[in-house]
Amino acid sequence: MRSASPSGDRIATVYPGGCHGVILAPQVTVELRTKQGRGGGGVFAVRDSAAQMEVRWISEDTLEVSYPTTATVEKRQSLLQFRDARLHVIYRARPGN
């Protein structure tokens, strides 16, 4: 699932994981597009292959990631920067899977 920021210059992608035959953790990556190029990286990952994650843009510079309280968090990054672009990531644990 891909989600663009209000301007479309930032793209958050949720990878569900659990691909057949591949060990891949559910994760969230973000691409930041600037006049100087494109960059970004992974901001969040969990160990549980069935965990359902969601993203929501709060503003151009703030992304909310929600995930189940039962998930084992592997990576949780609150700031992503590429050149002069900065993105703040906030997290919300929710009941369920």
Q: Is the Cβ–Cβ distance between 42 and 53 less than 8 Å?
A: no
From first to last of its 97 residues, the chain has per-residue pLDDT tens of 999 999 999 999 998 875 555 456 789 999 999 888 899 999 999 988 778 899 999 999 999 999 999 989 999 999 999 988 899 999 999 986 6
| Beta pairing partners, 26 | none
| 63: exposed, middle or buried (Cβ count in 10 Å: 0-12, 13-18, 19+) | buried
Encode pLDDT of 74-87 as tens digits. Answer: 999 999 999 888 99
Hey, CA dihedral for 13, 14, 19, 25, is it positive or negative?
A: positive
For the chain, what are the domain ranges? 2-94
Please give the span between the terminal C-alpha atoms of the chain, in angstroms, as a whole number.
Answer: 17
**How high is the pLDDT of residue 19?**
54
